[in-house]
A and B are shown apart, each in its own frame.
Chain A
């Protein structure tokens, strides 16, 4: 289960990534943030952001509306 869930449905890139970056520190290291987004760019950009910021990208699951991308804060 994720520890923080961010709903950015309807918001286009780079806003989902900015929102994720702004809020990642709200969870402890080892906890997760789930980003719910319907922006097609998020599928590439959330894993890319994790790589650049050295967080762990845990994967995604389709939801009724949009896709849930799960990130683990690792530092």
Chain B
């Protein structure tokens, strides 16, 4: 068996950064007390929490008092969307999202609609990118919130956040940026009003999300009142996990540019080699590396069930995810692939862990070809 080097699902969860492991152990020792208590143990926990908040704020281009920790990126997205909508209810009940947002943002949008609100979904081009002019074109006087991801979690497309933010700003509309795939990987941006992220995407532990609300941006919790996390997330945070998450992010920031360059080269190799070695494969997302996340590449193989492909790759030692839904009629295929007009079956997403090497990528390519051939042969689709 190959161990961690065949782990190609970092866009879901990145293996724990060594700095996080160390910080976690230290914080379990020193950070167990309630940081709101004024005695010595509480003050020690408070110092750890403050320092974690400062580290995260610095990395996302915000201020510490703008940053709240949540139990996951999912909750952060739900709260960002529903809280901003609640605070601007008097302005209107119109929400704008892109068609390729994370399912957690779209779930919050559906809740908004169930409550009588309205959502406009902005389409994307075949590479998965929204047109900023089209996005600006649907903003209205009663638009309470706009939401746009920084980079797409399935096909790696970077979105024109800066341009959309400028268009929103002109109209006084706050922009929520789901930055789960870029925080800790690409330089931080100033162009957001609400920002969300997830620590397990950057090598922190699962169980930590980030919700940042810019000073002056109106936001009202859709949950019962509670004083924790500046009133944005009820209940005490898991301090050891938060400390570990911040340590991973801090450690990662130093190496991020070099890592991104290395990963982009591996992705480039995959994008070039896949169509050369596999018949009838569509490589998804933008061709220009400047328009992509550094660590993610997705492709679809014609006439193959995505789940079968992922299962066979797992047997060969490669862990990937798939946006296909060929195994059950109850499930619908990836809304991202459908919005792009891409083939939804035979889909594989490779997202590289930090230690992925050229040899891993080469072995993956070698393993993939016979698997695709075998699956096509089984369904009589070899010569179609």
Contact = CB atoms under 8 A, between A and B. Distances in A.
Interface residues of B, number: 27
A16 to B, nearest CB: 9
A45 B346 CA distance: 10
B326 interface: yes
Given A13-B325, A44-B338, A21 B384 contact: yes
B302 A13 contact: no
B337 interface: yes
Interface string B246-269: 000000000000000000000000
Contacts of A62: none
Nearest to A15: B379
Contacts, number: 74
Contact of A17 (B282, B303, B333, B338): B303
Contacts of A1: none
Contacts of B305: 12-14
B304 to A, nearest CB: 6
A27 interface: no
Contacts of B324: 13, 41
Given A13-B344, A52-B343, A44 B333 contact: yes
B381 interface: yes
A75 interface: no
Interface residues of A, number: 21
Nearest to B328: A12
Given A21-B303, A44-B342, A13 B381 contact: no
A52 B302 contact: yes
Interface in A16-51: 17-18, 21-22, 38-41, 43-45, 47-49, 51
A67 B372 CA distance: 29
A1 to B, nearest CB: 26
A47 B326 CA distance: 17
Contacts of B343: 44-45, 48-49, 52
Nearest to A18: B381
A43 B304 CA distance: 17
Contact of A45 (B328, B331, B345): B345
A13 B333 contact: yes
B327 interface: yes
A49 B344 contact: no
Contacts of B342: 44, 48
Contacts of A22: 380, 384
Interface in B347-384: 379-381, 384
Candidate in B305, B345, B381 with the most chain A CB atoms within 10 angstroms: B345
26 contacts: A12-B305, A13-B324, A13-B326, A13-B333, A14-B304, A14-B381, A17-B302, A18-B303, A18-B379, A21-B384, A22-B384, A38-B329, A39-B329, A40-B332, A41-B325, A41-B332, A43-B338, A44-B338, A44-B343, A44-B344, A45-B343, A45-B344, A45-B345, A48-B342, A48-B343, A52-B343
Interface of B: 280, 282, 302-305, 324-329, 331-333, 337-338, 341-346, 379-381, 384
